[in-house]
Amino acid sequence: MQSFDYGHAADIGEALANGDAPNTVFLAGGTELLNWLRLGVAKPARVIDLARLKGFADITRLPGGGLRIGALARLNDVALNDDVARDYPVLSQAILKSASAQLRNLATIGGNPLQKTRCGYFRAEETLPCNKRKLGSGCSALKGINDKHAIFGWSEACVATQPSDPATALSALDALYVTEHKDGGRRIKAEDLHTLPGDTPHIDNALRDGELIVGIELGGAARHSAYLKLRERESYEFAIVSAAVALDLEGDRILRARIALGSVAHKPWRLNQAECALSGAAANDTAAIRRALDASLVGAKTLAHNAYKVRLAKNAAERAIRLAAARTW
């Protein structure tokens, strides 16, 4: 690990004032940053620890029915919060299926969506061709082992996926990431936080240097929502495919469906076409749901080893819709 200078930000102003200096990174939960440092994925000169910032881990109701979650809230504290568990089960479930109990006691809700891909070539301890690690070095996964890689939105430069479960749930909830920057903050729609690789695969998200996620805002309660994660073992593993679904129901009829797939692209992947097709459908009309999902997945582009993920994604979405509809309140 390369050496670095370390300091505690006493308050948000101090963090932002120093955050956009060259080779400077923020430290929140640390469960990603420490591995980046070990692998050489990040080689910062300065680390700004955010642990002493006050009031950034609170979960508060918003006027009008939404919820604001402080970015420094630990994952377990978010998932087990009564309001989150009751009103946004998709988020609570996604978090509890992430990582392990110990890691969730450290990792924060603001940091988790900024984790990088789990692509084995990217995370290799010995440096392999990877355009994320070194732009222009090539993509080892494109013609290599790519069974876990993207089926949507990839480019010749990068076929990696974004693995965050919470980010997938937040996408289905149309959450807003609230940011601060010394030149002013903004609200970033969940669908706009992560970027597609294109010819800039080294860029993961829309955040500027020194821009810090300070909170996440959720709209009205999404009690008919659910998260389904498919993986090779039952716990403590990244998804092959996941599905986050939030339904607005009137009786058995779907007024609005929001469906996001995880681990299929460089960002949580909304199935907009299926969402439109399901508006007005009966929640138990399996044929209509399958038709809508089929049409939405036609655009999938598979690699040598991952064609199975298309079927898996479709079935995961169908089951997640059933789970979301079945939640009774």
Partner 1 sequence: MEFRSHLTVALRVNGRSYEVPVDTRTTLLDLLREHLELTGTKKGCNFGECGACTVHLNGRRVNGCMILAASVEGAEVTTIEGLAEDGKLHPVQQAFIDHDAFQCGFCTPGQVMSAVALIREGHARSAAEIREWMSGNLCRCSSYPQILSAVEAAASQATGG
> Interface with partner 1 by CB under 8 A: which residues?
1, 3-10, 14, 17-18, 27, 29-31, 34-35, 37-38, 46-49, 51, 99-103, 105-106, 234-236
Q: Which residues contact 145 (CB under 8 A, 6 or more apart)?
A: 120, 305
Between 7 and 120, whose beta carbon lies closer to partner 1? 7
Strand, coil or helix: 208: coil
Cβ–Cβ under 8 Å, residues 85 and 92? yes
Q: Could you tell me how far CA 187 lies from the centroid of its own chain?
A: 16
Q: Which residues of 239-254 are buried (b: 16+ CB within 10 A; e: fewer)?
A: bbbbbbbbbbbeeeeb
Q: At its nearest, how many Å lie between partner 1 and the CB of residue 5?
A: 4
Between 100 and 137, whose beta carbon lies closer to partner 1? 100
What's phi and psi for 79, nearest 5 deg?
A: -60, -35
Between 29 and 197, whose beta carbon lies closer to partner 1? 29
Q: At its nearest, how many Å lie between partner 1 and the CB of residue 239?
A: 15
Between 110 and 153, whose beta carbon lies closer to partner 1? 110
- How many whole angstroms separate alpha carbon 36 and alpha carbon 47? 13
Q: At its nearest, how many Å lie between partner 1 and the CB of residue 99?
A: 7
Q: Which residues contact 296 (CB under 8 A, 6 or more apart)?
A: 259, 271, 272, 273, 274, 277
Between 12 and 196, whose beta carbon lies closer to partner 1? 12
Q: At its nearest, how many Å lie between partner 1 and the CB of residue 114?
A: 16
Q: At its nearest, how many Å lie between partner 1 and the CB of residue 102?
A: 5
